[in-house]
Amino acid sequence: MINIKIKRFKDGKEWIEEYKVPENLTVLEALEYINKEYNADIAFRYSCRNCQCGSCSLTINNEPKLACVEKVKDGMLIEALKGFRVIRDLIVDRESYNKKLLNIRNFLIRKKYPEYIEKIDDNVVEKVKNLKSCIECLSCLSLCPARENSNYPGATIMRQLARFLEDVRDEEDREKIAFFENLFNCTTCHKCVEVCPMDIDIVKKAIEKLREYSFKKGLYLDNHLKVRENLLKYNRSVVKEDIPFLEEIDKEYFKAENEKFKVLFFTGCLVDYRLKNLAYETIKVLNAHNISVVVPKNQVCCLSPMLRVGQRDIANKLIEMNKRIFNEYKEKYNYKYIVTICAGCGSTLKNDYKLEDVRDITELINEVGFLKYKPLKMRVTYHHPCHLLRGQKIKDEPIKILKSIPKLEYVEIPAKCCGAGGGVRSGNPELSKIIGTKRKKDIMKLDVEGVITVCPFCEYQLKDILEDTNIKVYNIVSILSKVI
């Protein structure tokens, strides 16, 4: 037998009860067992018992899960699905979702009955198949930072709208509805994708698609046009202020003493234009690990800032430029990997360019092995950049590096979006700040001196929100450069 905890709620009061249940049960079976054996009268919802109706979603150990799928574990905490009003015990009020479906006119709209029956293109059917496999469990709404902090209805609503985009029969302006439902508030954090039991790629297939259609119709956030102007002018997403790193360096090859192999360093816009020191530290750290570094001076923005906000029309030119450079340098130096120190760049090169030889610096250092690092007396936490954690599935590598540094005290913090991504920091700074301030509250509880991350966007965001504190923010590369 194992112990599980259940958060109960009735008549405005909440409390936690603990029960012993047999092992190997699903949570749903355990709830039935408790009601039968202990006469507990816990209220919960279910129907199909087989991952089809979506009615049994709950919060289990702080994550949205289906009760009919998840197995019980000792010490598990079971609560109602977060992000919704609780009616009783584990039952939440789904009315806001149902109402929103009506608001967005979640049905085929046609003005008159057609004279002939149009056939939907097979390709379109194939494209929306994944989007249509939703079981309406609402898990994707539960922990969405945009929904929690603004008038944004959440991923599955955008998914519903995106289903109609290429449906020739539908005459409603779905991208316009999405735009006015705050489509651009999504930070593309991928939490919704992570928790979706049906593996629906909502961000790419719904949110970024709707943004693309919306941009074509002239519906976008003004600040995103400024980013576009920068890209058209400098091939960088930010304005040139100082001499960029790539213009400053007088060579492109930085050889390690005992070279194991070479890597191509993809700097990304912020490191090249704003964080030059970080670029030099990267070379120093890689060289210290016996990795030689090649830096193409003509590399350009990966285009993540435009892809995430649906401005795909200028994407191809820059993507092709980078790909050409990668190929040329492969021939010239035969580098083993392309290395990034920016979660957004890494995720874009891996998932949008679909390159297989890209490594985040933390992945690479775990692969080549740690050095005997110097001690660094500091109490720190690690902020998981969404585009590293969910975009690249890199979770433990940075933490292992931190734990290998003598005297460095690492304190865990649950992963949560800081509000910088998806064009929200540039396009909707007010919302970005609200999300960031929530992150600040989590960080302040830990009594740490530093927050470590591997993303210049998160770094800027965290520095801004922690500006009035003594907590410093570092890219993990800066920490490594202190201890080698």
Sites of contact with ligand SF4 (CB under 6 A): 54, 134-140, 144-146, 154-156, 159, 186-192, 195-198, 200, 202-203
Query: How far apart are the C-alpha atoms of 348 and 277, rounded to whole Å?
Result: 23
- Sign of the dihedral through C-alpha 435, 189, 63, 55: positive
Does position 46 interact with ligand FES (CB under 6 A)? The reply is yes
Of 46-54, 79-87, 95-103, 439-447, the window that binds ligand FES (rule: CB under 6 A) is: 46-54
Candidates 14, 18, 48, 103; binder of ligand FES (CB under 6 A) is 48
Does position 43 interact with ligand FES (CB under 6 A)? The reply is no
Q: Tell the burial category of 23 from Cβ atoms under 10 Å away from its Cβ (0-12, 13-18, 19+).
A: exposed
Compute the CA torsion angle 470, 277, 324, 306 (nearest 10 deg): 30
> 113 CB contacts (<8 Å, ≥6 apart)?
none
Rounded to a whole number of angstroms, the minimum distance from the CB of residue 59 to ligand SF4 is 13
Count Cβ atoms below 10 Å from residue 22 Cβ, excluding itself: 12
Rounded to a whole number of angstroms, the minimum distance from the CB of residue 128 to ligand SF4 is 13
DSSP state of 356: S
Query: How far apart are the C-alpha atoms of 293 and 279, rounded to whole Å?
Result: 11
Nearer to ligand SF4, 214 or 292 (CB): 214
Rounded to a whole number of angstroms, the minimum distance from the CB of residue 48 to ligand FES is 4
Rounded to a whole number of angstroms, the minimum distance from the CB of residue 186 to ligand SF4 is 3
Nearer to ligand FES, 134 or 401 (CB): 134
Rounded to a whole number of angstroms, the minimum distance from the CB of residue 400 to ligand SF4 is 26
Residue type, 271: V
Rounded to a whole number of angstroms, the minimum distance from the CB of residue 332 to ligand FES is 54
Does position 53 interact with ligand FES (CB under 6 A)? The reply is yes
**Contacts of ligand FES in 400-429 (CB under 6 A):** none
Helical segments of 164-221, H only: 174-180, 191-195, 202, 208-216
- Cβ atoms of 344 and 387 within 8 Å: the answer is yes
* Partner from ligand FES, ligand SF4, none contacting 349, C-beta within 5 to 8 A by type: none
Query: How far apart are the C-alpha atoms of 72 and 78, rounded to whole Å?
Result: 10
Helix, strand, coil in percent for the chain, rounding step 5 = 45, 15, 40
Query: How far apart are the C-alpha atoms of 417 and 371, rounded to whole Å?
Result: 31
* Partner from ligand FES, ligand SF4, none contacting 345, C-beta within 5 to 8 A by type: none
Rounded to a whole number of angstroms, the minimum distance from the CB of residue 199 to ligand SF4 is 8
Nearer to ligand FES, 56 or 364 (CB): 56
Does position 139 interact with ligand FES (CB under 6 A)? The reply is no
Does position 215 interact with ligand FES (CB under 6 A)? The reply is no
**Contacts of ligand FES in 68-97 (CB under 6 A):** 68
Does position 133 interact with ligand FES (CB under 6 A)? The reply is no
What Rg value do the Cα atoms of the chain yield, rounded?
24
Does position 51 interact with ligand FES (CB under 6 A)? The reply is yes
User: Which tokens go with 465?
Assistant: 């929100």
Interface residues with ligand FES (CB under 6 A) are: 46-49, 51-56, 66, 68
